[in-house]
């Protein structure tokens, strides 16, 4: 059993020493520790994973001790525990490749999370959810009922105690109503290499520009379309002989991988969001 501590603050001498001393004093054993410093803004970021099987205090006391250090350095911090799995909701429309990929990775134990439910604006993939034993909910959605549909989705998420959401090619624009309920907890996959080719039909846009690279991007969804903090990106080389359908076919596997990598990083608390960008520890 282990805990994960993430933090960021202005860079000062003594931060690593104080944190590691604190973990040693509570008889934790550091399993992994990574730091990153950014000259822009003089910010310091830290990810520490430590064994708590021999902890000499309660978890509440652990948090209180960490809070004292955080106050000293004016930190933003988070402490999570491996025995409390995050509960994920999946939103999907008709494309099934990202959905299948997440469900299979979960089945094979690659994603340490609980899949609480699947929400869709179509009924096409209900049989997939049934096959994997995941509750499936159909919420009709169009440009005229977005607010109402998102409120229904929020009710479902709250009743199923959802911690975060993966948009597995959910081809709808979420409203601030939903996004504000789950800040930095809605992970989207965009079938384009952001910030280029935002919005609809990015492969068509890429073809028209004659690009030599195509890609996909996973990011936290925000009210500004396709402009949330990027988590993972991948590209593949193409040339003039590729038609739009070739680009779409090549892109499917890229989309699945970048979404899965982003979801995994989120589950493992390896992401710190700062100023609309991310620090993603390995």
User: Could you tell me the CATH number of the domain that includes residue 31?
Assistant: 3.30.70.260
The last residue of one of the domains, among 62, 81, 100, is 81
Cβ neighbours for 128, distance < 8 A, ≥ 6 positions apart = 96, 99, 100, 103
Q: What is the pLDDT of residues 102-138, one digit of tens each?
A: 999 999 999 999 999 999 999 999 999 999 999 999 9
Report how far apart, in Å, the C-alpha atoms of 47 and of each of 32, 34, 40, 89, 250 are: 8, 5, 19, 25, 34
Q: Are 47 and 6 in contact (CB under 8 A)?
A: yes
Confidence category of residue 41, pLDDT binned at 50, 70, 90 = confident
pLDDT at 68 over 80: yes
Tell me the residue range of the domain where 126 lies.
Answer: 86-280
The pLDDT confidence band at residue 143, using thresholds 50, 70 and 90, is: confident
Q: Which two tokens stand for residue 270?
A: 């390896």
Q: What is the pLDDT of residue 182?
A: 97
Of 39, 60, 81, the one marking the end of a domain is: 81
Can you read off the two tokens belonging to residue 75?
Answer: 């930190």
**Residues 119, 94 within the same domain:** yes
Q: What is the pLDDT of residue 95?
A: 95
Task: State yes or no: pLDDT of 228 exceeds 90.
Answer: yes
pLDDT of residue 40: 76
Tell me the catalytic residues. 226
Among the three residues 32, 57, 81, which one is the final residue of a domain in this structure? 81
Kindly report the pTM of this predicted structure.
0.94
């Amino acid at each position: 059993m282990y805990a994960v501590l993430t933090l960021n603050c202005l860079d000062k001498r003594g931060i690593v020493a104080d944190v590691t001393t604190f973990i040693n004093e509570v008889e934790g054993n550091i399993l992994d520790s990574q730091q990153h410093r950014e000259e822009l803004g003089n910010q310091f970021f830290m990810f520490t994973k430590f064994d708590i099987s021999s902890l000499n205090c309660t978890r509440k006391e652990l948090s209180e001790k960490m809070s004292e250090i955080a106050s000293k350095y004016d930190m933003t911090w988070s402490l999570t525990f491996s025995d409390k799995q995050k509960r994920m909701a999946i939103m999907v429309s008709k494309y099934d490749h990202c959905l299948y990929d997440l469900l299979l990775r979960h089945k094979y134990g690659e994603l340490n999370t609980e899949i609480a439910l699947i929400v869709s604006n179509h009924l096409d993939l209900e049989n997939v959810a049934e096959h994997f034993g995941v509750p499936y909910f159909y919420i009709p959605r169009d440009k005229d009922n977005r607010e109402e549909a998102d409120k229904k989705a929020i009710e479902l998420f709250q009743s199923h105690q959802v911690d975060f959401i993966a948009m597995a090619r959910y081809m709808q624009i979420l409203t601030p109503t939903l996004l504000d309920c789950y800040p930095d907890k809605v992970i989207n996959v965009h079938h384009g290499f952001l910030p280029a080719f935002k919005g609809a039909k990015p492969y068509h846009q890429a073809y028209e520009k004659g690009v030599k690279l195509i890609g996909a991007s996973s990011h936290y969804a925000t009210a500004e379309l396709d402009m949330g903090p990027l988590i993972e990106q991948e590209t593949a080389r193409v040339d003039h002989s590729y038609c739009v359908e070739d680009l779409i076919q090549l892109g499917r596997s890229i989309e699945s991988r970048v979404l899965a990598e982003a979801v995994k990083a989120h589950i493992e608390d390896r992401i710190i969001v700062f100023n609309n960008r991310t620090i993603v520890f390995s």
